Amino acid sequence: MKTIQLFAFYNTFDQDLDVLNPEVWAQEAMVVLEENTVMLPLINQQYSTELKEEGDQVNAFRPVANEPRRKDVNDEIIVDPVSVEKVPVKLNFHVYNSFIIRDSEQQKSFWNLRDKYLAPTVQKVANEIDEIIACAKYYFYKNMVGKIGTDLTKTSLVQMGQVFNENLAPLDAERYFAMTPAQQANLQDETQFTDADRVGDDGTALRYGSIGQKYGIWNVMSQNMRSVATGNTVVTGAVNLSGGYASGTSTLVVDGFSAAITAGSWCTIAGDNRPRRIASTVGGSTPTQLVLEVAITSAVVDNAVVTVYTPGAVNLTGGYAADWTKDITVDGYSVAQKRGGLVSVGATGYPYGAVGTPTTTGMKLSRGLDAVAANNAVVCPGPAGEYGFAFHRNAVAFVSNPMATPPAGTGAIGAIATNGSGETDEKGNETGNGLVVRVTMAYDYKKQGTVVTVDLLCGIAILDEDLGMLVVS
Euclidean distance between CA atoms 228 and 247, whole angstroms? 26
HSE value, Cβ hemisphere, 13 Å, CA-based, for 299: 8
Q: Residue 167, Cβ neighbours under 10 Å: how many?
A: 15
Euclidean distance between CA atoms 125 and 123, whole angstroms? 5
pLDDT tens sequence across 29-50: 988 988 888 898 888 887 666 7
User: What sections of 145-293 are H helices per DSSP?
Assistant: 154-166, 181-188, 191-194, 196-199, 204-207
User: What sections of 87-234 are H helices per DSSP?
Assistant: 110-113, 119-134, 154-166, 181-188, 191-194, 196-199, 204-207
Point out the residues of the chain with pLDDT beneath 70: 1-18, 47-49, 63-67, 80-83, 190-211, 420-434
Mean pLDDT of the chain: 85
| Sign of the C-alpha dihedral computed for residues 312, 314, 316 and 318 taken in this order | negative
What pLDDT score was predicted for residue 254? 97
Q: Residue 348, Cβ neighbours under 10 Å: how many?
A: 12
Whether residue 256 contacts residue 215, with contact meaning beta carbons closer than 8 Å, is answered with no
Q: At what angle do helices 22-35 and 119-134 cross, to 10 degrees?
A: 50
Euclidean distance between CA atoms 140 and 35, whole angstroms? 27
Which of 210, 425, 229 has its CA nearest to residue 342? Answer: 229
pLDDT tens sequence across 211-226: 677 888 898 888 888 8
Whether residue 337 contacts residue 284, with contact meaning beta carbons closer than 8 Å, is answered with no
H/E segment holding residue 418:
strand 412-418
Q: SS3 of 164, please?
A: helix
Greatest alpha-carbon pair distance for the chain in Å reads 82
Cα angle, residue 211 at apex, residues 208 and 214 outer, rounded to 5°:
150
